[in-house]
Amino acid sequence: MKVLFIGNSHTFVHYVPLRVMEYAKKKGRKIEATMLTHPGMGLDWHLEQSQTYFNVLYGNYDAIVLQHNAHPFPGKRSLVSAGKKLIGLIPKKAKVYLYMTWSEKNNPKGQKKMSEAYEELAKQAGATICPVGRIWWQVHVAHPEEELYFADGEHTSVFGASLSAAVIARTLLGMDTDPKKCYEEAKKLEKMKQDPRMIDLVYKNGQLELK
């Protein structure tokens, strides 16, 4: 399966697409991932980039995973508007998936608004949701000892990225997204090593940096 990920730091921090590939490999399946991301940018920004059009129109992807701004979340209208425009470009052979993100650590009530927005876009565009945000909070309640967030309370910890990848991979592979199973698989993915030359988010001298 050839998959294109379009999003921002919530896709590339701790390399969620790489963890999705690793998950599929361990299940005896193959996913080839391409990633188009930029810090802090949403789907409306991607609509203005030439590489978006080239990849969407000529990349011959089987699936495309879309992720919008999350912190702060710009609301349902922003997601639905940009999402429908981008989905309108995608060839019929490619299945569209929506990477539902999570609300901030200090804003658990914000998840309802975010989830409803992704559900509305899925309904209007006929897309499939990867319910990361919904599973995120279920795992948080069931396993309060696990830290899902990075130091800023917005991005993922390694475990949080692993949970995101488990939910996305299971959705792409047609598997159920039972929170217990996703948690168990995330604990395995958490141990995955990535090439140290890859740019990732670090916390240095009280500041967030890409390094």
3-state secondary structure 99-168: ECCCCCCCCCCHHHHHHHHHHHHHHHHCCEEECHHHHHHHHHHHCCCCCCECCCCCCECHHHHHHHHHHH
Question: Does position 70 have pLDDT exceeding 90, yes or no?
Answer: yes
Average pLDDT of the chain, as a whole number: 97
Rounded Cα–Cα distance for residues 153 and 79 (Å): 22
pLDDT score at 203: 87
Rounded Cα–Cα distance for residues 81 and 103 (Å): 20
* Joined tokens for residue 36: 């188009």
The pTM assigned to this predicted structure is: 0.97
For residue 7, CA distances in Å to 30, 44, 90, 205, 206 come to: 22, 10, 15, 27, 26
Secondary structure letter of residue 71 according to DSSP: S
Question: Does position 185 have pLDDT exceeding 90, yes or no?
Answer: yes
In order of their start, the domains of the chain are: 2-210 (3.40.50.1110)
pLDDT band, very low/low/confident/very high, at 10 (cuts 50, 70, 90): very high
Question: Does position 206 have pLDDT exceeding 90, yes or no?
Answer: no
pLDDT score at 164: 98
Of the candidates 38, 31, 51, 52, the residue with the CA atom closest to the CA atom of residue 165: 31
Model pLDDT for residues 79-94, shown as the tens digit of each residue: 999 999 999 999 999 9
pLDDT band, very low/low/confident/very high, at 205 (cuts 50, 70, 90): confident
With H, G, I as helix, E, B as strand and everything else as coil, classify residue 206. Answer: coil
Model pLDDT for residues 123-159, shown as the tens digit of each residue: 999 999 999 999 999 999 999 999 999 999 999 999 9
pLDDT score at 50: 98
